[in-house]
Structure 1
Amino acid sequence: MNRTATATAVAAAALAALTATGTAAGATATASAGRASSTVGTPAPGAPLRFTPGATSGSVSGHLTEGGRESWTFRARAGQTAVVDLTSGDPSTRWTLTAPDGTPLRTQMGQAQDGSLTLPATGAYTLDVLTTGAADYTLDLALPVPVRFAPGATSATVHADLPAGATRELAFGARAGQSAQVALRHAEPGTRWTLVGPDGTPLHTAMTEVQDRVDVPLPADGTYLLTVLTGTADDVDLRLSIPVA
């Protein structure tokens, strides 16, 4: 059974921020303020989408003039998962993703504006946001940290010191018919977790009454996204078990 995430960690500056048993894993988070913009067809070089140490997701906002485009870049490793969500008041607003070698990984044609992709190579990726009409937008990017299991093990413990208002995204792979047993130890009552299936279906939400120990059936093969979020600073231990089906 493949019980590890498809992703590998990035950003050496954050390697100690989040660790699963037996492995070191890190990622990066909230984006820098700069951006590059141009008209469609002549994109300017992308501004770096930098993450603060220890976080795994970030958000940037911008305004596009009619027919405009803005470009953002981020670094990742081969096999890592990128989760992208674009929000805009103009339905013509789309995003595209280009690999380090220039290969288009996602085009603007007829696709939902949220989704996850497995990244094929190590290097700098370019996220373009473009529209035919003038529009404000918010672009969210998450690079989940993989939960790794020691050889022969079916569980792993992840520790995180979360600042106020933080979220921490984790990814793990599983098969249909397995279950995810999640045990959350936390000091603050506002700390919650969510679980989303490979197709984006919510399986456990922050509004679910039981948060400390839950057994969630897994409906499909693929990569699952588990997010821990808190309103106030908290010291969190999350234990994930995936028994062999």
Structure 2
Amino acid sequence: MAEVDFHLKRGEILGIIGPNGAGKSTLLNIISGIYVPSSGEVRLEGRRINGVAPHQIVKRGIARTFQSSRLFGDLSVLDNVIIGRHIHTRSGVLDAIFRRRRAEAELAEAAAHAEGLLKAVSRGLYDQRHRAAAELPQADRRRLEIARALASDPKVLLLDEPSSGMDDADTDALMDDIRAVCAARPDLSLMIIEHDMRLVAALPHRVIVLDYGQKLADGPFEEVRLIPRVQEAYLGRRGASHAQG
């Protein structure tokens, strides 16, 4: 990545768009600690997090989803969200053996929190909470990934193509779910990588356009989409006209 400099405000929804190979997922991998940048800094609330291990970055307040599913397919919907809560639990194997009541109480608290999250993200997903994750349709799997990421109580949530594999109706429902989550957590900041221009036009407060690891534009979608070099690099003339309609 080169010359990519930006700030994310508390409570802001930021869209990251650009053609394939532009560096969008690489950017999320750097922020979430999977990659270590060769130069520059990543800061969370003023604290540098370059080189911090991914699980420690989660503890500091950054959670994410991935393009490909990372769900535990054989486990239930509820159990997948409980696993996302692990950074807030202290019980281990020895506690389960010698401090059983403490471990059971902690698990009950995590389960109650997970059920509340599922209700907040999608009532339909909550109704399927005892179903195996592998049995869910694609749209509900994406919702479950978001719910599991939220289980860590993040300050920043990174979503990598959340509408992948969805039709227009599912995408509209997903946007409603994300709006509901943001309304319930007004301090939560979101970064969303997305190819669906309907979502990009409707949801983020601001978008950044990347191309070959460089930032081409940064601003409201209605302004950014009119920039000629953005149209040439990503939207295309026809795509920009479609987004306008």
Name the one with the larger strand percent: 1
Bin the TM-score by the shorter chain: under 0.3
Higher relative contact order (CA 8 A, sep 6+): 2
TM-score by length of structure 1 reads: 0.26
Q: Tell me which structure has the larger Cα radius of gyration.
A: 2
TM-score by length of structure 2 reads: 0.26
Name the one with the larger helix percent: 2
